[in-house]
Structure 1
Amino acid sequence: TLLFWHDETWVNSGEEKHSIWIDNSGHGRLRKRDGQGPRLAISPMLSKDGIHESTVGIWETSKEHNMTSARFVNWISEAVGTLRAENVNSKICIIVDNAPWYNELAEETKMSKRAWVEAQVVQRLNDHQVPYLDIYTKAELLELADAYAPKKVFKTDVAAAKFDVDILRLPVRHCVLNPIELAWAEMKTFIRNNNVTFSLKDVSVWAKAWLTACDM
């Protein structure tokens, strides 16, 4: 089985050393930036051979950690297709943590909501061929819908399954089991050591350069 560990991190255009910046010639100055500014999200996978370059995702985000289930599913849909094309006959497994964007349920397996009107609950029961009586109240219908709720299926898993790729989730709060976590401090140090323009475009170049050279 080919194993790929995935995680994401964020870097800002204002990344620089925390105290004094010094270039390779020995010239330096006091820190001018606060480390903020426009932000990039970086989404790579790590295998035994290092960072898998052809599936690295880098995109601009807001100051918040702007990762959503839709964005992640779009990325992984392309990534698993690439992995399968490169490894036609191999069993592939991607290891992720339990971030919310990995765990959004597929629409057909989401639990019924208390805010639903009765007609929506009835439709859910009909969709899953669950018998009920017309005299049931909305509360009773909701209880029945929850009792017969289908097995949870995650959008991430559905996208990966299209290319016969498995998703394995690490236990909650066990990110130490993901070796790619060790990469982020090294990558950000590299960016801070080389970031003199404070341009998001250049930060992206330095991030890609480090990922390409990474030999974890």
Structure 2
Amino acid sequence: MDNSGNTETAGPSVKLFPSPIKKNKRGKIISSSERLRIINMYKANLEEDPNMSMRSMRQIISKNMGISESTVHRTINVYKETSTVTSPKRKRVRENVFHLYDDFSRNAVRRHVHNIWFRREIPTIDKIHKEVSDDKSLPAISRTSLFKLIKDLDFRYCKRSRNSALTEKNEIVVWRRRHLRAIREYREQGRHIYYLDETWVNAGECLIVLHIGSEDGFVPGGLLCFESKKNSRDYHDEMNGQTFYDWMENILPQLRDNCVIVMDNAPYHSVKKDKSPTSSTRKADIIKWLEDKGEVVDYTMVIPELLEIVKRIKPLHNKYVIDELAKASNKTILRLPPYHCELNPIELAWSSIKNHVKMNNSTFKLPDVKNLLLEGIERVDQVMWKNFIQHTKNRKKILGNRQYCRRSVGSGNIKFDIDNYR
């Protein structure tokens, strides 16, 4: 039987549907090719219907490509402004709490903790978070991020029985007492004191600024200003030991003889002249370092034993490049305790200068911001510098007499130690 003329299908007919459009994952970077497709679809729809609204346009493109309407809208707007399809930035810079809080802001947090102690209250994270949140001059911060910041500021919780208290580490307390005692002695000796520091000025693009001043005002010719390459608020990443050394070498002849220079502990301020061996140093190099310092070494010792000797004599040979440079010019370097920029009056000068730039910056162009920066520096005269220094002296007196928690005891009472420094 000839069935060549009959065609039969086995089973029911199958209707094919296109696979659903896969939506772009939230937060995923849109590639250049995808951006180009958005613009091509935009042009095609515009040719087909010149009167089509932007809302309808982005809805159609979003549905066809699986990309959010907001991304489509931004891509089209950028194309309208630049007439080009921009390439995406592959590396996203997400600022965490340590970038948002610069030295000045961190110092404000520390001050809030101290103020709670001044009221004879126990500082808890909730109390500190409320005070920091109420301070409109500080960036918004979550409770969890504040806890991380507090730990980074070298505070710690001391727990005894059922009670706990937030205290500073002993090293910070000792360093602060030594600094307050040293600067008091220098003032009694009549030595002229200079204060130096770095900061940043944000103008879309970041400027890194370094200067030095005293009660006579900013030192003429002491300004170092350059554009940031990383566009980050952490200006410490932009400076290096050699740049700071060259600047210091040029500024030292302009300072008074036998003066004192106050600075913080930034890494480029504290480059060691002779680095001490560590656990990663070869045994032969450790032995050579010890013998260069006049130590008699037993060659049968292992590395941990040698490092114990290094640890013992290291404080005798801790010399910094900048300190030796200043010493050769009959000048003294005095370092601030960590996280105590409030003891440096130049911070108040920076605050005034930044406020001047902020209030008068209308173009956000780098040359204009530089001019505003110079204007702000000119505004900070001798009178303002003397006021800043007096304000810092008052703060030092408060810190010298401040109360801090030593321990918590089982009875529930917190004992306060009085620092009798005057």
**TM-score by structure 1 length?**
0.77
Matched, 1:2 2:196: no
Residue 278 of structure 2 is matched in structure 1 by 113
Distance change >3 Å, CA 104–CA 190, structure 1 → 2: same
- Shift in Å at residue 204 of structure 1? 1.6
Secondary structure of the structure 2 residue equivalent to 1:5: strand
Matched, 1:162 2:352: no
Distance change >3 Å, CA 91–CA 145, structure 1 → 2: closer
Report if aligned partners of 2:291, 2:297 keep a CA contact under 8 Å in 1: no
Residue 360 of structure 2 is matched in structure 1 by 194
Residue 208 of structure 2 is matched in structure 1 by 41
The match for 2:243 among 27, 48, 71 is 71
Matched, 1:52 2:224: no
The match for 1:130 among 269, 283, 295 is 295
Report if aligned partners of 1:122, 1:141 keep a CA contact under 8 Å in 2: yes
Distance in 2, matches of 1:49 and 1:70, equals 28
Deviations 1:164-197 (A, max 9, x none): 1111122333222211111222211211233233
Distance change >3 Å, CA 175–CA 198, structure 1 → 2: same
Report if aligned partners of 2:279, 2:303 keep a CA contact under 8 Å in 1: no
Residue 98 of structure 1 is matched in structure 2 by 265
The match for 2:318 among 123, 133, 152 is 152
Distance in 1, matches of 2:258 and 2:286, equals 40
Distance in 1, matches of 2:329 and 2:302, equals 43
Report if aligned partners of 1:12, 1:200 keep a CA contact under 8 Å in 2: no
Distance in 2, matches of 1:151 and 1:121, equals 14
- Shift in Å at residue 118 of structure 1? 1.3
- Shift in Å at residue 43 of structure 1? 1.0
More strand by share: 1
Deviations 1:91-135 (A, max 9, x none): 2111112333322322x2x22110011121122122222111222
Report if aligned partners of 1:5, 1:95 keep a CA contact under 8 Å in 2: yes
- Shift in Å at residue 207 of structure 1? 0.8
- Shift in Å at residue 4 of structure 1? 1.0
Q: Percent same amino acid among aligned pairs?
A: 30
More helix by share: 2
- Shift in Å at residue 48 of structure 1? 0.9
Gaps of 5+ in 2: 1-190, 385-422
What is the total number of aligned residue pairs between the two structures? 186
**TM-score by structure 2 length?**
0.41
Residue 13 of structure 1 is matched in structure 2 by 203
Match of 1:46, as an amino acid? G
Gaps of 5+ in 1: 15-37
Larger radius of gyration: 2
Deviations 1:58-110 (A, max 9, x none): 12223232223332222222111232xxx4xx32111112333322322x2x2
- Shift in Å at residue 212 of structure 1? 2.0
Distance in 1, matches of 2:332 and 2:371, equals 31
Secondary structure of the structure 1 residue equivalent to 2:262: strand
The match for 2:308 among 137, 143, 148 is 143
Distance change >3 Å, CA 57–CA 42, structure 1 → 2: same
Residue 31 of structure 2 is matched in structure 1 by none
- Shift in Å at residue 211 of structure 1? 0.8
Residue 207 of structure 1 is matched in structure 2 by 373
Distance in 1, matches of 2:313 and 2:358, equals 53
Report if aligned partners of 1:3, 1:47 keep a CA contact under 8 Å in 2: yes
After superposition, the CA RMSD in angstroms is: 1.9
Report if aligned partners of 1:43, 1:58 keep a CA contact under 8 Å in 2: yes
Secondary structure of the structure 1 residue equivalent to 2:221: helix
Secondary structure of the structure 1 residue equivalent to 2:317: coil
Match of 1:95, as an amino acid? V
